[in-house]
C-alpha cells in the first residue's frame, strides 16, 4: 500500500483539479440543469482513470454512468454507488462565492456537490487510479454505478438495476456518503431512512383579488395553512391516520450502537445557531429521534405577494413542498396513499397532491462480516475508533441494491461536519478528501484479503 | 353645463393622453419606486389644469401634492382626496402588456393605477379644467389632496392633516374611488372599513439545514403554519381573543340601503372563476358579510425552496403577510395589541410581528344632505338609480378627514367592475373615464347650488 499512498500524496493537487472540474459543471436534477453534460464529464474522468465505461440511458430520466475494471487475481467485486446530480444551489445570495465556482478558500473546495457527492465520487475514482497507476491492477473487481437522479429520489433507478442485474452484481457495496465526525472518528452508515417528497397546491379565484373581498373569496393560502395543520401538530405528531403503524423499533444490537455514537450536541447547536433542539431533545434521546423517528418537513411554501411592504390581495394560488422521512418498515407508497386519504377525509378535497421521487428505507445488519472489515480498515487509516450508525437520517436508493443485488451495503466517505451538505457554501476540506481517498484504497485492499 | 360637457367631449383624447402619461410613471409606495417623480408629475399636471399647487413634504414619508382654485362667487369648498401611489404590479407575468405601459386595447387604458387612482385623479382634474377653460371659473372652491401613501395605509397623513387643518378645510369631500356597477348604476360609498397590515416572521437555524435533521431542527415554516392556524380557523372564525368585542352592528337605515344594493352574484363568481363564495355565502347574506364582517387575509407567504421539483431542506426562515379589515368601532391599535397578546398567549413567542400601515374605519350618515346632493347628480348624469353603500369593503384614511376636517365624505368615481383593481391587467374603460369626468363636473355645479 505504500506505493499507492505515495501516489495519492504526490497527485493530490491533480485530484483537487479533477474535483473542481466536476464541481464547475452544474447538474441540478430538480431543474434538469446540466445533466447530460455532467454525465459525459463523469464518463470522461472515468476513462482518464482507466475504467471501461458506458452510459446507461433510460427511456425516461437521467443517464446512469457505469464504469468497471477487473482484478487479475480476485473474484470478489466491490461496487461503488455514487451520484453526479446535486441539490439546487438556492439561496444563492448566501454563498460566499459562486455555487459552481469550485473556489478554494482556506484549504476547502467550495461549490454545490463539492461534498455531496462529487467529492466522494472523485475520491473513489482516484483510489482506483492509484492502484492502476502504481501496481497496474486493482485488488478486487471494481464497479461504479453513478446515478443522475439521487437528489430527486432516483425515480428511474429501479428499472435500470432490474435490467442490469448481472452487470451490477457485486459481493459488497460502498455507498455514496460518509466522513469523519467532529472528533475525527470515521463513520460507517449501515442503513438509510426512506423518503417521500410531495407538493401540495391549492387554487382559488382565477386571479389575485383585492383583499377587501376577503369575506367572499376563498383564500388558497388559508386553505393550505389549514391542510398543513391537519398533517402535523405543534407537538410534532404526524396526524395522518395510520402513519406510525408500520414503524419497527430498533433492535437491541442497533440500540447498543446508537448509545456508543458520540454526539457533539453543543457544537452542533452552536453551528446551527440553536439554543435548543426541537422539543428540547437532548443526548441519546435526540440521537435516537434523529435516526429512528419518521419526520414530516415543510421544505418550502409560497403564495401571493412576498416582496417589500404590504399588498392587499387574496392570492390566486398557494403551494407547499413537503418531505416525509420514513423508517423501516414504512414505505412511500403506503404513506402517500395514507396522506391522500387523510386530506380527503379531513375536508381538503381542494388540495392537489403531486408526488415527486420516493425511496424506501433500507439497512444492512450490524453483525455482517463486511461491516467488520470496513470498520477495521477505518480504524487503521484514521487511527481512531470508527462510529457505526445502524441507520442514518438521510435517504437514497439503497433498498434497491439491498433487494435486487442482495449484498451488504456500507456507506463511508470523505466529508466532514462543516461540509454544509444541501446548504449554501457546501465545501470539502482538501485534507479530508485526500485521507478519504487513502481510506477507499485501503478498503479495496482489505476487502480482497477478507 | 352644456359648454362644459362639450369641452369634455372635444378634449377626451387629450384627457386620455394625460392619464397615460401618469400611468407610465411608476409610483409603487410599497417599494418606494418612482414616488418623487410621480409627485412632481402630478403637480405639473395640476399646473397645466390651472391650479395653484404646492408639494407638502413630510419629515418622513412620501409627499402630498396639494392643489386649489378659488371660486369667484361661492364660499363653499369641495375637497377631492386622491392618491398617486399604486399597488405593486406583481405577478407581472400575468399582465397582457407592460404594467406601466398605459397601452390602449379595445377602448381600455391598461396599467397599474389606470383605475386606482390615477384615472379618478385625472378625471377630477379634467372636470375642473373644463370649467376653467370654458367659463373661466369653478362653481365652488376646489381643493385637491393627493396622497402618496394610500396603498400602504397612509402612515404620515394624520400629521399632515393636523398640520394643515386650515389649508384642507372644506364643506364636503369627494373620496378617491367609485364607479358604476355591472348594470351601469353609479355607486356612492359613504364609509370604509379599517385595515391593519402586518408581517409575521419566524427564524430557525442560521442557515437552511438538510431535512434529514428534521427531528432535531426547529422548522420556521411549521411554526408559521401553526401560528396562522391559531389566528383563524377553517370556519373563518378569527380566534384572537376579544377580536369581535367592538364590532358595531349596522343601523336599520344602513341595512335598508344594503338590501337595495343589486348584487350580480353569478357574474362576479364567473369573472373570478368561483363555483361558490366563501362559506357558500349568497345574496344579501354575502353582501352583508362583504360590507360588515371584519376579515383576516393571508396576502402572501414564503419559506424555503419554491422552485421546480423538490429540495430536501429545513428552511431558515418563514414569513407571512396578513391584513385585517376592520369595521366600526374596531381600531387597528386595539387589534394589533390583541394579536400580539394572542400569539404570545398561544405559545408563539418566537413569531416576530411587524406592523405596516393601518387605518381606522369611518362612515358618513346615509341621511346627510351632501349624500342626497351627490345621489341626485348621479341619477341625472347616469340616468340610472344610484346605489348607496353605507360602508364599503375597502380601506383608506377617510377617518382622518371625518375626524379632523369634520365634514361629510362621499366616494364616487369613474371605475367599472372589470377594472381589475389591485390585480394584473388593471384598466380603465375610456367611456367610463369620460362619463365620470362629466359626473364630477356636475357635482361641482350641483354642490354650488345645494
CB contact under 8 A, B298 and A306: no
Sorted by where each begins, the domain ranges of chain B are 2-190+364-449, 194-247+294-359
Average pLDDT of every residue of chain B: 96
For B190-203, what is the mean pLDDT? Answer: 96
For B274, the closest of A211, A218, A420 (CB atoms) is A218
Task: With a cut of 90, say whether residue B186 has pLDDT above it.
Answer: yes
Residue B38 CA to residue B55 CA, distance in Å, equals 12
Compare all CA atoms of chain A with the CA of B321 and give the residue at the minimum distance.
Answer: A310
Mean pLDDT score, A98-107: 97
- Which residue in the block uniquely carries the three cell numbers 482507466? A50
Per CB-CB distance under 8 Å, the chain A contacts of B272 are: 205-207, 209, 217
B151 contacts in A (CB within 8 Å)? 312
pLDDT of res. A152: 85
Q: What is the pLDDT of residue B95?
A: 97
Residue B91: how many other CB atoms lie within 10 Å = 18
pLDDT at A59: 86
Given a contact cutoff of 8 angstroms between Cβ atoms, the answer to whether A286 and A315 are in contact is no
pLDDT tier for residue A58 given thresholds of 50, 70 and 90: confident
Q: What is the pLDDT of residue B299?
A: 98
pLDDT in the model for residue B363: 94
- Are B421 and A197 a contacting pair at CB < 8 A? no
- CA A5/CA A346 separation, integer angstroms: 61
Q: Do A278 and B218 touch (CB under 8 A)?
A: yes
- Apex B16 CA angle, B12 and B19, nearest 5: 140
Q: How far apart are CA A334 and CA A242, in angstroms?
A: 10
Sign of the Cα torsion B134, B139, B145, B150 reads: negative
Chain B closest CA to A347's CA: distance in Å? 10
Residue of B300, B392, B420 with shortest CB distance to A311: B300
Mutation to test the A interface, candidates B94, B283, B321, most A Cβ within 10 Å: B321
Nearest CA in chain B to A87: B311
pLDDT per position as a tens digit, B263-317: 889 989 999 999 999 999 999 999 999 999 999 999 999 999 999 888 899 999 9
How long is chain A? Answer: 450
A208 vs B290: CB contact, 8 Å cut-off? no
Output the 3-class SS for A60-98. Answer: CCCCEEEEEECCCCCCCEEEEEEECCECCCCCHHHCCCC
Percentage of residues of chain B with pLDDT beyond 70: 100
Contact residues for A281 (Cβ-Cβ < 8 A; gap 6+): A289, B215, B216
pLDDT digits (tens, 9 = 90+) for B63-103: 999 999 999 999 999 999 999 999 999 989 999 999 999 99
User: Cβ–Cβ of B212/A314 closer than 8 Å?
Assistant: no
pLDDT interval class at A381 (50, 70, 90): very high
Q: Specify burial of residue A392 (Cβ count, 10 A radius: 0-12, 13-18, 19+).
A: buried
For A191, residues 6+ apart whose C-beta sits below 8 A from its C-beta are A328, A361, A362, A363, A364, A389, A390, A391, A392, A398
Backbone φ and ψ for A152, nearest 5 degrees, come out as -115, 20
A22: nearest Cα among A114, A109, A88: A114
In DSSP terms, B302 is beta-bridged to A302, B319
Mean pLDDT of A87-95: 93
Helix axes B430-449, B369-382, angle to 10 degrees: 130
Closest CA to A304 of A211, A417, A187: A211
Q: Which residues of B touch A206 (CB under 8 A)?
A: 272-273
Query: For residue B59, what pLDDT is reported?
Result: 86
Of A222, A300, A421, the CB nearest to B315: A300
The answer to whether B311 contacts A199, with C-beta atoms less than 8 Å apart, is: no
Determine phi and psi for A162, rounding to 5 degrees: -60, -40
Say what the pLDDT of residue B153 is. Answer: 80
Q: Which of A90, A313, A319 to mutate to test the interface with B (most CBs of B within 10 A)?
A: A313
B197-208 burial: b if 16+ Cβ within 10 Å, else e:
bbbbebbbbebb
Cα–Cα distance measured from residue A34 to residue A22, given in angstroms and rounded to the nearest whole number: 11
Q: Is the pLDDT of residue A261 over 90?
A: yes
Task: Please give the pLDDT value at position A264.
Answer: 85
Is pLDDT at A2 greater than 90 in this prediction? yes
Distance, in Å, from the CA atom of B66 to the CA atom of B406, rounded to the nearest integer, reads 19
Q: Which residue among A30, A209, A274 places its CB closest to the CB of B311?
A: A30
Higher pLDDT, B153 or B154: B154
pLDDT tens string B236-278: 999 999 999 999 999 998 999 999 999 889 989 999 999 999 9
Contacts of B26 in chain A (CB under 8 A): none
pLDDT band at A31 (very low <50, low <70, confident <90, very high): very high
**B395-417 pLDDT, tens per residue?**
889 999 999 999 999 999 999 98
| Side-by-side strand order, sheet with A387-389 | A52-56, A64-69, A141-147, A77-83, A172-175, A409-411, A187-189, A387-389
Q: Reading across the β-sheet that carries B187-189, which strands appear in turn?
A: B52-56, B64-69, B141-147, B77-83, B172-175, B409-411, B187-189, B387-389
pLDDT of amino acid A422: 84
Residue A237's pLDDT is: 98
Backbone angles phi, psi at B373, to 5 degrees: -60, -50
Residue in A217, A234, A297 nearest the CB of B278: A217
Q: Which residues of B touch A392 (CB under 8 A)?
A: 212
Question: Which CATH number is A197-359's, of 3.30.70.360, 3.50.50.60, 2.60.40.420, 3.40.50.300?
Answer: 3.30.70.360
Give me A213's grid cell: 373581498
Chain B residues within an 8 Å CB radius of A325? 211-212, 214
Output the pLDDT for position A309: 87
**CATH number belonging to the domain at B2-190+364-449, selected among 3.40.50.720, 3.40.630.10, 3.20.190.10, 3.90.1150.10:** 3.40.630.10
Q: What is the pLDDT of residues A32-48, one digit of tens each?
A: 999 999 999 999 999 99
Model confidence at A290: pLDDT above 90: yes
The answer to whether residue B321 scores a pLDDT higher than 90 is yes
- B404: its cell numbers: 379632523
Secondary structure of residue B283 in the 3-state scheme: helix
pLDDT for A357 beyond 90: no
Mean pLDDT of A233-255: 96
Residue B62, min C-alpha distance to chain A (Å): 14
Contact A302, A193 (CB under 8 A): no
- Chain A: residue nearest B302 by CA? A302
- Find the distance separating the first CA and the last CA of chain B, reported in whole Å: 16
Q: Which three cell numbers stand for residue A368?
A: 455482517
**Residue in A90, A67, A73 with CA at minimum distance from that of residue A422:** A90
- Position B129 scores a pLDDT of 98
pLDDT at residue B146, as a whole number: 98
Which residues does A449 contact at the CB level (< 8 Å), separation at least 6? Answer: A139
pLDDT, tens digit (0-9, with 9 covering 90-100), for A163-191: 999 999 999 999 999 999 988 999 999 99
pLDDT confidence band for A358 (50 / 70 / 90) = confident
- Inter-chain contact A228–B225, Cβ cutoff 8 Å? yes
- Cβ contact, residue pair B356, A321, below 8 Å: no
B360 with B329: CB under 8 angstroms?
A: no
Alpha helix positions (H), B24-101: 35-49
Count of helix runs (H) and strand runs (E) in chain B:
13, 19
Question: B194-247+294-359, what's its fold?
Answer: Alpha-Beta Plaits (3.30.70)
The nearest CA of chain B is from the CA of A219 a distance in Å of 8
Per-residue pLDDT of B347-370, as tens digits, reads 999 999 999 878 899 999 999 999
Average pLDDT, integer, range A304-315: 93
Give the number of beta-carbon pairs within 8 Å between A and B.
305
The Cα–Cα gap between B391 and B325 comes to: 12
Question: For the segment B3-51, what is each residue's pLDDT rounded down to a tens digit?
Answer: 999 999 999 999 999 999 999 999 999 999 999 999 999 999 999 999 9
Amino acid at each position: 500500500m505504500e506505493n499507492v499512498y505515495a501516489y495519492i500524496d504526490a497527485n493530490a493537487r491533480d485530484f483537487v483539479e479533477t474535483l473542481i472540474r466536476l464541481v464547475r459543471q452544474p447538474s441540478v436534477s430538480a431543474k434538469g440543469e446540466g445533466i447530460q453534460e455532467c454525465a459525459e464529464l463523469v464518463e470522461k474522468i472515468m476513462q482518464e482513470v482507466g475504467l471501461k465505461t458506458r452510459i446507461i440511458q433510460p427511456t425516461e430520466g437521467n443517464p446512469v454512468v457505469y464504469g468497471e475494471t477487473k482484478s487479475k487475481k480476485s473474484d470478489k467485486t466491490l461496487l461503488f454507488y455514487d451520484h453526479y446530480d446535486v441539490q439546487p444551489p438556492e439561496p444563492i445570495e448566501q454563498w460566499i462565492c459562486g455555487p459552481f465556482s469550485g473556489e478554494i478558500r482556506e484549504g476547502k473546495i467550495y461549490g454545490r456537490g463539492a461534498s455531496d457527492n462529487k467529492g466522494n465520487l472523485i475520491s473513489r475514482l482516484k483510489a482506483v487510479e492509484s492502484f492502476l497507476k502504481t501496481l497496474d491492477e486493482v485488488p478486487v473487481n471494481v464497479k461504479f454505478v453513478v446515478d443522475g437522479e439521487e437528489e430527486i429520489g432516483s425515480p428511474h433507478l429501479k428499472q435500470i438495476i432490474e435490467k442490469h442485474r448481472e452487470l451490477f452484481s457485486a459481493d459488497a457495496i460502498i455507498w455514496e456518503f460518509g466522513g469523519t465526525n467532529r472528533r475525527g472518528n470515521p463513520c460507517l452508515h449501515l442503513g438509510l431512512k426512506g423518503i417521500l417528497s410531495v407538493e401540495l397546491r391549492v387554487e382559488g379565484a382565477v386571479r389575485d383579488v383585492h383583499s377587501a373581498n376577503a369575506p367572499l373569496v376563498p383564500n388558497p393560502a388559508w386553505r393550505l395553512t389549514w391542510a398543513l395543520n391537519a398533517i402535523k401538530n405543534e407537538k410534532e405528531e404526524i396526524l395522518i391516520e395510520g402513519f406510525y403503524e408500520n414503524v419497527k423499533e430498533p433492535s437491541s444490537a442497533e440500540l447498543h450502537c446508537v448509545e456508543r455514537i458520540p454526539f457533539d450536541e453543543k457544537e452542533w447547536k452552536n453551528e446551527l445557531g440553536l439554543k435548543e433542539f426541537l422539543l428540547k431533545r437532548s443526548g441519546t434521546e435526540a440521537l435516537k429521534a434523529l435516526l429512528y423517528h419518521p419526520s414530516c418537513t415543510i421544505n418550502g411554501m409560497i403564495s401571493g405577494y412576498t416582496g417589500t411592504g404590504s399588498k392587499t390581495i387574496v392570492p390566486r394560488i398557494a403551494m407547499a413542498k413537503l418531505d416525509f422521512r420514513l423508517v423501516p418498515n414504512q414505505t412511500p407508497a403506503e404513506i402517500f396513499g395514507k396522506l391522500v386519504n387523510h386530506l380527503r377525509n379531513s375536508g381538503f378535497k381542494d388540495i392537489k397532491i403531486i408526488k415527486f421521487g420516493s425511496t424506501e428505507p433500507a439497512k444492512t445488519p450490524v453483525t455482517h462480516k463486511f461491516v467488520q472489515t470496513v470498520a477495521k480498515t477505518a480504524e487503521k487509516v484514521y487511527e481512531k475508533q470508527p462510529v457505526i450508525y445502524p441507520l442514518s437520517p438521510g435517504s437514497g436508493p439503497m433498498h434497491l441494491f439491498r433487494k435486487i443485488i442482495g449484498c451488504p451495503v456500507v456507506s463511508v466517505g470523505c466529508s466532514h461536519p462543516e461540509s454544509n451538505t444541501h446548504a449554501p457554501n457546501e465545501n470539502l476540506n482538501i485534507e479530508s478528501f485526500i485521507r478519504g481517498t487513502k481510506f477507499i484504497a485501503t478498503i479495496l485492499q482489505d476487502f480482497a484479503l477478507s
